[in-house]
Structure 1
Amino acid sequence: MNIKIIVATHKAYAMPQNELYLPVQVGAALNEPIAGYTPDNTGQHISAQNPFYNELTALYWAKYHLADQDVVGLAHYRRYLGQRASHDLRDILNAEQIATLLSDHDVIVPKKRHYYIESQEQHYLNAHAALPYETMLAVVAEKYPQFAAATTQMRTSKAAHLFNMSIMKQAQFQAYTDFVFDVLGEVAKRVDLDQYTGQDRRALGFLGERLMDVWLLGSHQNYVEVPLVQTERTNWLDKGYQFLKRHFGKNGGKTHF
């Protein structure tokens, strides 16, 4: 089984010493190259759109450059799918573990993050501009009416598969990326993202996280969840405080930090 996991990064960083993992520099069209990393601006690409798409420019690159692989995945420079939750790169999934998981499933995703006191929709709108999200819902309704129930389930769920991370068999990968980039491309046509600053400018990347659950549910994917390996520790006290501040406060709190 040929497997390749791209590791999206915008800077030089400690990478897995395993040829399974391919460091891909996102937004390479806009920045100086990072020695030893694969740029996302070769062949068919959307590298220059990285300020809006985040790590999804690496995913787009993989769609057209890794079509000969049996399995394709996306990790972040500081987040990976793992065999156990940890902060140690030695715990990330290896080829044998991926093959075993995909012998019974078609897709591997990170364990859901639970919000408990608010839905996915509430969580998103408490932290982001509403127009791109509302436009995404309209596009899915127009172009993918068969996903109506899945969209409602995503909106009302109090848990989400985040980070745009996954490992998939090639057929599922192509179907998933067809859907995601079709929807996000249409949102980009309808919404002037240049009007936004800060994290709102990166709306397409954040919307992609919501589309993952719409696609998983709407296309009835047979998926399995695994823990996250995060090389940087999370300050859960601060993160929890900011979450509550966004939920109950008028001015919100920071997110995606």
Structure 2
Amino acid sequence: MSDIKIFVTHTPNRDTMRVNNSLFYNVIAGSDFQTKEVPEGVYQDNQGDNISSLNKSYCELTTQYWAWKNMQADYYGFCHYRRFFSFSEKKIKETSWGTIEYDFLDQKAMDELALHEKAVQDYIEKYDFLIAKGVPTSDMNAKSVYEHYKKAPELHIEDAELFLKIIDEKYSYLSETARELFEGHTFYPCNMFIAKKELFEDYSKILFDVLEEFEKRADMSEYSREGYRTTGHLGERLAGIYYMYLKKQGKYRLGELQIALIHNADAETEVTQATDGDVVPVVLAANQKYVPILYTCAQSIVEHTSHDRKYEIYVFHTDINADSQKMFTDRLNRANVRFIFVNVSSRVAGYVLQAKQHITTETFYRFLILDILKVYPKVVYLDCDMIICHDVAELYDTDMGNSLIAGALDPDFAGQCNMKNSEMRQYCKNTLGLENPFVYFQAGVLVFNVTEMSKVVTVDKLLEMSDTGIYRFSDQDILNVVCKDRVTYLDMKWNMIFDCDHFRWQKVIKYAPYYILDDYENARKDPYIIHYAGFLKPWMKPDEDFGYVFWDMARKTPYYEQILSGMQHQGGGQNVTVDTVIEARAFKRTRKLLMKIFPQGSGIRRTLGKMYWRIFG
């Protein structure tokens, strides 16, 4: 078999995905600018003979130069961490931009693109030179390659003409083809190609000779950042010129490959347990919009940590940006506390995960603990709409035996179920399969027994259950179903749900069995964790129950002013509360009216209740 090496270029200081295929070699292009630790198995283009320091103008071509000078192969190929070739024998549907597009490079995409070792090997060995499929310039709103270059806002057509002049002087046999490419209607993008050794050697000699001469003569001292990448842009054109020149020779096996663009190209975080084994793993889940509240919760955790313990706080997300992540790591990391952001996009792709009412999609991410943090025997999960007032290490130390999960009873659910002729009680029995509704736990604070739970359920099964849409309280219901009869119950202090809208305590929880109501009222005296679960929050309406605790913590964060701003909007010169609060108030008035008209236990009230749950969840 031929020795095939396809070099995948990566940007410095970004942890991007790596294909699991022995033919692909991951290289940091511009490793001279790498400041972070280099991931295991990744090559650097500043080793041996190299031009890594020129990456800002040569772009990904510094990888090609390094491979040319330092690596031996029968075939050399080049692509990018988010752009790959398709080796499928069948044409795959493209977007209007001429690329096949995927959200993630998951197993389905790998299969469709035939990115498996044998398929890649078999395909490549049938050719001498393969290049990324040409794109018609009409698709780029240009009549020719020359016009496309000229219309680029940060490029300068004088550089293209200098480039052609250098080719005339040094490689006159390419001159005619070079002008045909620029005057033609097909552009070969991305510096992506695969070539047999002898052709690769010939092309690389020409390429770097021409580009070196160009950089000697051109003045790019006042160019923009993109303009300074002109050398790489010209190299892109030379790849097309060389391919067209080979076609004219009529003696080579040539082909064009479709390009696949991967939208989400961050590498999955690989979690390995700390060597000392005495780490408290905690999981939070949020999105970019929720970052101010997430940070406030995180700060409250950090303020109540013990100097004698180590804490790894994982944030599961799909869109929290690098600047926000840096805010956490710069300000909240301690010698014994570390924040790790885990993008879970690829793991939840393909599932609907439609949460109900005020519950967010991120609530389902706690299921992923079983896969992502399987190196830990136990993991603490916390919702973000909380203020932590006690050391979570004590929560982690809960003796669980062979229980699957530890959680606190849900006094709100218990109150709903204990009302006369409760439709919720029937739901608990008929849908959840819980004969006793008063063992139902609230899922905002949990300790997962990862070892035991992994024996009885998989993440895929949990996500499939969520896709059925039959559960009113989303993942909380699902966990109660799965963990039935194998629950360690926490003191309600660990998950004291606040009196939402000053309504929940006296209008719902008071109906709970007396011992649950007693536990709830005791928990309110000295809560370890205050959980702002409900449609209203202190950051929406400041006088909410235990709101002062939230605001005391929020004032210490860099997001305090942002939280204040988000709470209000301008209306007729007056600051008014957000629309959510207004809608909630209207709903409350309507609910009270209907409760008066249709007394508890009446058939029409039960019917209306069932209709409500079907429509709104």
Q: TM-score when scaled to structure 2?
A: 0.36
Residue 354 (structure 2) aligns with: none
Check if 1:227 corresponds to 2:258: yes
Structure 2: give runs of 5+ residues left out of the alignment: 93-99, 265-617
**Contact 1:108/1:225 (8 A) holds in 2:** yes
Aligned residue among 149, 164, 189 for 1:137:
164
Q: CA deviation at 1:222?
A: 3.5
- CA-to-aligned-CA distance 1:21-65 (integer Å, 9 cap, x gap): 111011111221532221110000000000000100011111012
1:192 partner SS: coil
**C-alpha distance in structure 1 between counterparts of 2:199 and 2:117, whole Å:** 18
Residue 74 (structure 1) aligns with: 78
Check if 1:54 corresponds to 2:85: no
Residue 65 (structure 1) aligns with: 70
Check if 1:175 corresponds to 2:202: yes
Q: TM-score when scaled to structure 1?
A: 0.85
1:16 partner SS: coil
**C-alpha distance in structure 2 between counterparts of 1:191 and 1:31, whole Å:** 27
**C-alpha distance in structure 2 between counterparts of 1:163 and 1:34, whole Å:** 25
For 2:5, give the aligned amino acid: K
2:56 partner SS: helix
**C-alpha distance in structure 2 between counterparts of 1:45 and 1:225, whole Å:** 29
- CA-to-aligned-CA distance 1:67-126 (integer Å, 9 cap, x gap): x21111111010011124342351254443344334442111111111224100110111
**Contact 1:114/1:159 (8 A) holds in 2:** yes
**C-alpha distance in structure 2 between counterparts of 1:22 and 1:105, whole Å:** 20
1:175–1:148 distance in 2 versus 1, CA, 3 Å: same
Aligned residue among 142, 147, 164 for 1:122:
147
Q: How many residues were matched structurally? A: 232
For 1:113, give the aligned amino acid: V
Range with greater deviation from structure 2 (46-55 or 33-42): 33-42
Aligned residue among 33, 47, 50 for 1:42:
47
**Contact 1:70/1:170 (8 A) holds in 2:** yes
**Contact 1:146/1:218 (8 A) holds in 2:** no
**C-alpha distance in structure 2 between counterparts of 1:20 and 1:196, whole Å:** 38
Residue 14 (structure 1) aligns with: 17
The 5 A counterparts of 1:142-221 are 142-219=169-246, 220=249
**Contact 1:120/1:154 (8 A) holds in 2:** yes
Check if 1:4 corresponds to 2:5: yes
Range with greater deviation from structure 2 (217-226 or 199-208): 217-226
**C-alpha distance in structure 1 between counterparts of 2:117 and 2:135, whole Å:** 25
**C-alpha distance in structure 2 between counterparts of 1:191 and 1:152, whole Å:** 20
1:102–1:21 distance in 2 versus 1, CA, 3 Å: closer
**C-alpha distance in structure 2 between counterparts of 1:19 and 1:63, whole Å:** 19
**C-alpha distance in structure 2 between counterparts of 1:97 and 1:179, whole Å:** 31
Q: CA deviation at 1:20?
A: 1.2
For 1:97, give the aligned amino acid: A
**Contact 1:92/1:229 (8 A) holds in 2:** no
RMSD: 1.7
Aligned residue among 29, 33, 40 for 2:32:
29
**C-alpha distance in structure 1 between counterparts of 2:200 and 2:23, whole Å:** 17
**Contact 2:4/2:75 (8 A) holds in 1:** yes
Check if 1:96 corresponds to 2:113: no
Range with greater deviation from structure 2 (204-213 or 110-119): 110-119
Of structures 1 and 2, the one with the larger relative CO (CA 8 A, separation 6+) is: 1
**Contact 2:101/2:263 (8 A) holds in 1:** no
Residue 240 (structure 1) aligns with: none
**Contact 1:139/1:186 (8 A) holds in 2:** yes
